[in-house]
Structure 1
Amino acid sequence: MLVREAMTSPVVTIPRTATVRQAVRVLHEHGITALPVVDEPGRLAGIVSEMDLLKGVFDNDPRAFLRPVATPAAPSPRLVEDVMTRDVETVRPNTDVAALAELMMETRIKSVPVLAGSAVVGIVGRRDLIAILARCDARIRDDVLAAIAEYGPDGSTWDVSVRDGAVELQGRADDSAQRIAGVLARTVPGVTHVSIHT
């Protein structure tokens, strides 16, 4: 499965000159956890997450402490560009979702912008990947059968069973038809493994 099949698009972005408060509102209104930050021509300049936006925005409540707590001398960050992450991991629409998942696990990044050229065309978050894995086996089976019927070679018939996202193909077909059926099954969202038995 490719990133373009998993990404959220169109993507909600925010300019680097927006205030932290504006970014908080955008995240809240859209129910998302991160925003790609763009500059004037619309190129990716960074990314801002919920955690970035929480830096220094709350003053201490004196009721929570026995002794008075000094308030910070520096004011809270005001602009998105003051709190955003500038060194951003990105992927392309044709990146394999397995490679993206590996990147997210290794780096502990929750959201990754998707670029086509220099344009931000989508974003993939952990929630997007979880949503794909949550697809029911019956729907995955229907989609595998539909993909093979539409794009597979004529004359090959397959019995398809799915358990927890793992697809098992059974049928009589030559090596070429087997490879094609396996590839088609792997493109279906929610498929975690494909085995072929003839």
Structure 2
Amino acid sequence: MGWSEGVVAMLVREMMTAPVVTLPRTWSVKQAIHLLYEQDITAAPVVDENGRMVGIVSEMDLLRGEFEADPRAYLRPSAPPDSPPSVGVEEVMTPNVRTVREDADVLELVDLMISTGVKSVPVVRGDDVVGIASRRDLMGMLAHGDERIRDDVLTALQDSFETTEWRVAVHDGVVELHGGDLDDRSARIAEVIARTVPGVADVVLTS
């Protein structure tokens, strides 16, 4: 599929957006549109009175609920006082939600998005929604993958080896690590620390 090895090594919880923004199912479409716009998000899980997820709603769902089908009709006119209430989130949401576990591999998320065509997937821990992962999150991860990994590896090593000068290079998630005149024990510790950084597929120690 053209994904780098660095992506394979990443878990969903390491790239998801958290905490997750949710919508009460009693909200109107107008309220939901305002929230998604203010939060700059494309979709949000819908929850009941007990915080249990009962659906998910996207920008397109909300637009369908707010705009008339006729292309000549734009926003519905303001409703007179005696008209029926505006469309609710529960009427336009998708009730059968596909989810992914927070400890799942990112490739599992990618496969789900490709097979279902969904753009945003709630991330769960048991029955609780703990985040949401979108195509935007994946694109951001790919765009800054190796550079971000390098920065995170350097930070982790400098926190543990304050006096050591490190040279770190990253290509497709593989970290090349040079730490000067470290003894074998310290070098192995550095390798273990580097491997804990999200996105690292392998670590190569160089002399």
Q: Under a length normalisation based on structure 1, what TM-score does the superposition of the two structures give?
A: 0.71
Residues of 2 paired with 1:142 and 1:104: CA distance? 29
Q: Which amino acid aligns with 2:174?
A: V
Q: CA deviation at 1:5?
A: 1.4
Per chain length, whose mean CA-contact separation is higher, i.e. which structure has more relative contact order (CA < 8 Å, sep 6+)?
2
2:156 aligned with 1:162: no
Residue of structure 2 equivalent to 1:126: 135
2:90 aligned with 1:81: yes
Residue of structure 1 equivalent to 2:112: 103
Structure 2 unaligned spans of 5+: 1-9, 74-83, 161-165, 179-183
- Runs of 4+ displaced beyond 4 Å: 145-151, 180-184, 195-198
Residues of 2 paired with 1:62 and 1:168: CA distance? 56
Q: CA deviation at 1:161?
A: 2.5
Residue of structure 2 equivalent to 1:188: 198
Residues of 1 paired with 2:196 and 2:110: CA distance? 16
- 1:78/1:146 CA distance change after superposition, 3 Å: same
Residues of 1 paired with 2:53 and 2:28: CA distance? 17
Residue of structure 2 equivalent to 1:10: 19
Residues of 2 paired with 1:91 and 1:136: CA distance? 22
Residue of structure 1 equivalent to 2:126: 117
Give the root-mean-square deviation of aligned CA atoms.
3.5
Q: Which amino acid aligns with 1:82?
A: E
- 1:102/1:187 CA distance change after superposition, 3 Å: farther
Residues of 1 paired with 2:98 and 2:85: CA distance? 27
Q: Which amino acid aligns with 1:108?
A: G
Q: CA deviation at 1:17?
A: 1.1
Q: CA deviation at 1:188?
A: 2.3
Residues of 2 paired with 1:148 and 1:197: CA distance? 13
Q: CA deviation at 1:38?
A: 0.2
Residues of 2 paired with 1:21 and 1:6: CA distance? 30
Q: CA deviation at 1:142?
A: 3.5
- 1:139/1:80 CA distance change after superposition, 3 Å: closer
Percent sequence identity over aligned pairs:
51
Q: Which amino acid aligns with 1:30?
A: Q
Q: CA deviation at 1:144?
A: 3.2
Residues of 2 paired with 1:9 and 1:187: CA distance? 19
Q: 2:15 touches 2:138 (CA, 8 Å); kept in 1?
A: yes
Residues of 2 paired with 1:184 and 1:103: CA distance? 29
Q: 1:186 touches 1:194 (CA, 8 Å); kept in 2?
A: no
Count of aligned positions: 177
Secondary structure of the residue aligned to 1:161 is: strand
2:45 aligned with 1:36: yes
- 1:138/1:47 CA distance change after superposition, 3 Å: closer
Q: Which amino acid aligns with 1:93?
A: E
Residue of structure 1 equivalent to 2:54: 45
